[in-house]
Chain A
Amino acid sequence: MKNAYRLNTFLAAVTGLVFLGYLLIQTYSPAAILPPVDLMLVSGLSLLALVLESYSGPRVERRVWPMVALLGGVTFALLPLAAGLVALQELLRFTVVSCGAFLVLTFLFTAICERLASGPAGRLAPLLSAGVLFLAVQGCSSLFL
């Protein structure tokens, strides 16, 4: 799988599945308290997509950043709207912040992963990078959403 846009494919799939899970839980277990659809969730989805991309094939040599940003933005605008999880008034802010977080995380993840990926332990680099970045996002999550 050499597609340079497979990160966006994974992002759409992961986000779609998680939001579908939200819909099902909200329907059949209305008393359940779900994590809010906010920066933490978006970061988790982005990092999961990045990890899946890392393990699914060869490293992407060169990302087409404008297209990655555009597809990421459309993902975080279209899917929450289709699932009814984000109100229309909040959609623009949610999309901009989510897309920004996705791009920053993609850049940092790629940079950290490349530096960690040396030797046999390098196989764990994507998981470790995602874990470290997820913890880092927690520190500033309340600032944006």
Chain B
Amino acid sequence: MKRIPWLQPVAALLLAALVLFASSAVLSPIAKEQEEQELQSILSTLLPGADSFTQEAYTGEDEAISAVYKAENGYVIETVTAGYAGDITMLVGVHSDGSISGLVVRDMQETYGLGMKALSDVAFLSQFLWNGTSFTVGENVDALTGATVTSKAVAKAVTSASAFVTGADIGSSATEWGG
């Protein structure tokens, strides 16, 4: 019986597709639940003292703001700004007076060893905490070494989040809520 040479890769391919499809179907609801838990945990960390968060629709004009979570003592704002190698998604905790209570990078594809430091560089990230409502690299924010574009993107995101709460973002409903 003549052996068909391409049968082996086709079988491997079908097996891999089947395993991935089944795994995706099984893991998808678990992933959604885990993601929700993770988000609630992060929101509570970014805005200490808040018991519960409700997601509000954002109707403003600031393109950097992608989601708004409201709590009794402030907001957590999700922002998306353009970094050096792609979009940087962040969550920024803002008190009702516009001061920053916490920030975390949720997703970025910046250069390893340079822009990626924005994930965990305490000296860089702590510059934003309790330090006003508007941030400009070179003025009140020191950029990460070799990652000026990333630093500017982070500063823009934090400024947008603060402006939303203080009402500087006049296109948003922040003026009604917390301004």
Contacts from A to B (Cβ < 8 Å): 3-6, 8-9, 11-13, 15-16, 19-20, 23-24, 26-28, 30-31, 33, 35-36, 67, 71, 74-75, 78-79, 82-84, 142
Contact = CB atoms under 8 A, between A and B. Distances in A.
Contacts of A28: 34
A79 B20 contact: yes
A5 B8 contact: yes
A144 B108 CA distance: 19
Contacts of A15: 16
Nearest to A142: B85
Given A16-B16, A79-B17, A82-B17, A5 B6 contact: yes
B6 A83 contact: no
B10 interface: yes
Interface stretch (B21-29, B71-79, B137-145, B155-163): B21-29
A36 B109 CA distance: 8
B19 interface: yes
Given A23-B23, A28-B34, A5 B9 contact: yes
Contacts, number: 88
Contacts of A36: 86, 109
13 contacts: A3-B8, A8-B13, A12-B12, A12-B16, A26-B27, A26-B31, A27-B27, A27-B31, A33-B107, A36-B109, A82-B18, A84-B28, A142-B85
Nearest to B38: A30
Interface string B118-137: 01000000000000000000
Nearest to A13: B12
Contacts of B35: 30
A138 to B, nearest CB: 11
Given A33-B107, A33-B108, A9 B23 contact: no
Contacts of B6: 5, 8, 67, 71
B119 to A, nearest CB: 7
